[in-house]
Amino acid sequence: MSSQSEKSLQYLYARIAGLSYIIFTVAGWVKVFILNTRLSDIGTIQTNGMFANEIHFRLGILAETVMFLGVIMASVSFYIVLKPVSKQLAQTTLCLRLVEIIIGGIAVVVSMAMLALSSKVSLLETFDPEQLRTIVVIASSFRVPAYEYSWISMGFAGVITFYLFFKSRYIPRVWSVWGILTYLSLIVYPLVKLLKPDLPREAMYVLFPGALFELGVGIWLFTMGIKNQEIAVSSRHNGPV
């Protein structure tokens, strides 16, 4: 592939990565801030069913699926954009993102299993609503940890990704530094929660600037693309003087 063709491909995939970031960030915000995906209280199961709002729970699964499809798009796109900077590190981020997608995919499957358990006729005939709710709650207990521990591989992938952006100057370095700090917080939070299980839920607010970053850098990449230039210092030293 010619140098010009490779640069054109990088421009295209930088914009695709930006669009992917916008898609999965908005999908995540919709799930967290708009949809009510909680289980019903025991006293309201007979009236409301297993979920406080079953339609919202189903839409939440759809939002989760869209999120991880967006992650796949972004991961492949970043690999194509950053491969000329360091093929080995770009491959490493792709592998780390694959781990994130697998663990996150397990969380989505658990959500689907909760929905299936709540409506399976044979179970409804065998268990009373309280017992069935207990089964669904047990299944639900695997969902949040799966998401949170997927953040560790996501964090390492993000740190490497925006280190490569910092090195290449494809985007303003302020975005790269913000990205590195954002993804470091995604590594630290689940590790702290592992050591301190009773960590207050409010501690998650430390991740909010990261969500703003993903939306912001997604809009930047989608609208502005990347500034392609000579990358490695070695190319300057090894070239003709």
SS (H, E, C) 113-128: HHHHHHHCHHHHHHCC
Tokens 């708009």 belong to which residue? 34
Is the pLDDT reported for residue 84 higher than 50? yes
What are 11-62's pLDDT values in tens digits?
999 999 999 999 999 999 999 889 998 887 776 666 667 888 889 999 999 9
Is residue 178 very low, low, confident or very high in pLDDT (cuts 50, 70, 90)? very high
The predicted structure's pLDDT at residue 22: 96
Environment class of residue 195 by beta-carbon count within 10 Å: exposed (0-12), middle (13-18) or buried (19+)?
A: exposed
Backbone angles phi, psi at 39, to 5 degrees: -80, 155
One-letter amino acid of 148: E
Q: Please choose, from the candidates 131, 140, 139, 213, the residue with its C-alpha nearest in 3D space to the C-alpha of residue 171.
A: 213
Contact call for residues 24 and 66 (beta carbons, < 8 A): yes
The predicted structure's pLDDT at residue 44: 65
CA distances in angstroms from 35 to 42, 64, 81, 120, listed in the order given = 20, 12, 34, 24
Environment class of residue 183 by beta-carbon count within 10 Å: exposed (0-12), middle (13-18) or buried (19+)?
A: buried
CA distances in angstroms from 181 to 161, 174, 209, 225, listed in the order given = 12, 11, 10, 22
Is the pLDDT reported for residue 234 higher than 60? no
Judged by average pLDDT, the poorest of 65-69, 87-91, 142-146 is 142-146
Q: 55 versus 205: which is more confidently predicted?
A: 55
What are 91-148's pLDDT values in tens digits?
999 999 999 999 999 999 999 988 888 777 566 667 777 788 888 888 888 888 888 8
Is the pLDDT reported for residue 87 higher than 80? yes
The predicted structure's pLDDT at residue 10: 93
Contact call for residues 26 and 215 (beta carbons, < 8 A): yes
Q: 124 versus 192: which is more confidently predicted?
A: 192
The predicted structure's pLDDT at residue 231: 44
